[in-house]
Amino acid sequence: MKKWITFDLDETLMQNPFGKWVFPEVENLVSSFHIKDGILKKIRNEHKRRMDQQKLRDAYDWDNIIKQVLREEGIQLEINIESLVRKHSIPPKVYLLEENLLNTLDRVKQKGFSLGVVTNGFYKYQFPVMESIGLADVMDMIVTPCQTDCAKPDISMVKRLPGEGEIVAHVGDRLDHDVSFANELGIQSILIDREMPEEMRKLAPVNRAQQTEYVEKLFKKGIYRDLQFEKKYIPNIIIHSIYELLEKEMS
């Protein structure tokens, strides 16, 4: 039976073009209109509002969000985020977060795993990036909210795997989306912390999650706002690089 390892994309494997290229261009396109606090603030607020309402899928529908914001501001302008993403999905604007990442992923495959992506980003925004940096070729499946109509941490994301097999581990950078998703599925939850302190790096990946002080610090990151320290958010394994998936203590 196929054994799958699934991966998150943003902040885990790749840098998307939104923050540095797509959103600044949106800002430019509306620069002749007066929008109180600026369009990016409006976009962020609408994203957050949808997140707070647990509309996780809609929160990542950037074309829909921008359409709504422009309508609310009375601006008659068409902005197509999908085509802006395509335009800016060219290295070095987009890149892999690790040197030799494709090679590392290939070696994980050689150990007998199939590799998949489980992302909350829409297919039309993620695939052009994956394609331009070579990730599309190493991934055997891509799961996005477009096919599933839900988003992580909802485990319905992987209710129907294309093809046979089972997921044995999920790797991601967020405690609330990735780790809790994996824990609820009852598979290995692997957190990637690229800013891991030196003294933690010396420990084996399986022992890092027992370092209470370190794990508590991870909860204090700004992105989590009021996330409570709960068992479902605690990863089984913490790595600082995808390369660590190849190490002996991992398997």
Q: Which of 7, 250, 247 is nearest to 117 (CA)?
A: 7
Please report, as residue ranges, which positions from 67 to 126 form the binding site for Mg ion (by CB under 5 A). none
Of positions 8, 46, 98, 193, contacts Mg ion by CB under 5 A: 8
CB of 71 to Mg ion, least distance (A): 29
Residues contacting residue 220 through CB under 8 Å, at least 6 positions apart: none
Residue 70: CB minimum distance to Mg ion, A: 27
| Nearest of 181, 159, 156 to residue 171 by alpha carbon | 181
Q: Which of 2, 11, 136, 214 binds Mg ion (CB under 5 A)?
A: 11
- Each residue 124-163 as x (binds Mg ion by CB under 5 A) or -, in order, gives ----------------------------------------
Strand partners, 113: 3
The answer to whether 193 contacts Mg ion (rule: CB under 5 A) is no
Pick 46 or 173: Cβ nearer Mg ion: 173
For residue 202, the number of C-alpha atoms closer than 13 Å in the C-beta half-sphere is 2
Size of the site for Mg ion (CB under 5 A): 4
The least distance separating Mg ion from the CB of residue 7, rounded to whole angstroms, comes to 9
- CB of 79 or CB of 242, closer to Mg ion: 242
Which range, of 4-12, 102-110, 128-136, 208-216, touches Mg ion by CB under 5 A? 4-12
Query: In this structure, are residues 171 and 131 in contact, taking their beta carbons and an 8 Å threshold?
Result: no
Applying the rule CB under 5 A, the residues between 158 and 187 that interact with Mg ion are: 173
C-alpha–C-alpha distance, residues 190 and 232, integer Å: 13
- Asked whether position 10 contacts Mg ion by CB under 5 A, the answer is yes
Cα–Cα distance, 117 to 152 (Å, whole number): 12
Contacts of 146 (CB under 8 A, 6+ apart): 122, 123, 124
Residues forming contacts to Mg ion in the complex (CB under 5 A) are 8, 10-11, 173
